[in-house]
Amino acid sequence: MNQTPYFISAIDTDVGKTIVSAILVEALKADYWKPIQAGNLEDSDTMTVQSLISNSTSQFYSETYRLNTPASPHYAAEIDGLQLEAHSIQLPKTSNQLIVEGAGGLFVPINDKALLIDLMQDLNIPVILVIKNYLGSINHSLSSIYALQQKDIPIKGLIFNGPSVASSEDYILQYSKLPLIAKIPELSAISKQTIREQAERIKLNLSGQ
């Protein structure tokens, strides 16, 4: 199977990147890494993903930056008296597939000069864009896609997460001409079993692209 790393980003905050990342990690038996964790250090996204994985292959790498405040990384770092250096954020060395989870959307500031989209460009790996349907999601989706394309960042495909709105999803797919990786329904419960079930659903889509 293809061992290309993927960067998981989203069109906004609270779109479901962490749950989608867990599903992708399980589907690919991939390793997982979140470069920047801001807030919730005792219940981090890395811990959440690790708790939802059933396979024994996946490895979990420590964050480059762990910040105490649940806020934009540049502000959380300021509160902690730190200066985040984008160049110090380097992909972990692994021979396995790697899922990299971002923080918020594309234009989240890392410091006073660099945004998350700049880190994506520096890491030079394909992006999987997570989309949730809400009022304004078409605009946010197409704006995000346009921004990635303007920086020549490859887009592996799109994942729609949560309740489906066919007209919005069809428009985004038709306009962007990007591949659909999966539509993940709103899960009534988040558990190892539900993550495993969704992973089985999307495994073929991932391996076939």
Q: Is the pLDDT of residue 2 over 80?
A: no
Q: What is the 3-state secondary structure (H, E, C) of 109-136?
A: ECCCCCEHHHHHHHHCCCEEEEECCCCC
Q: Is the pTM of this model over 0.85?
A: yes
User: What percentage of residues in the chain have a pLDDT greater than 90?
Assistant: 90
Question: Is 34 an active-site residue?
Answer: yes
pLDDT digits (tens, 9 = 90+) for 53-97: 999 999 999 999 999 999 999 999 999 999 999 889 999 999 999
pLDDT of res. 86: 87
Q: How far apart are CA 144 and CA 107, in angstroms?
A: 9
pLDDT digits (tens, 9 = 90+) for 15-42: 999 999 999 999 999 999 999 999 999 9
Taking a C-beta distance cutoff of 8 angstroms, is the pair 185, 160 a contact? no
Q: Catalytic one among 34, 132, 156, 203?
A: 34
Q: Per the CATH hierarchy, to which homologous superfamily does domain 6-208 belong?
A: P-loop containing nucleotide triphosphate hydrolases (3.40.50.300)
Whole-number average pLDDT of the chain: 94
pLDDT of res. 62: 96
pLDDT digits (tens, 9 = 90+) for 154-183: 999 999 999 999 999 999 999 999 999 999
**Helical axes 17-28 vs 192-208, angle rounded to 10°:** 70
Domain ranges of the chain: 6-208
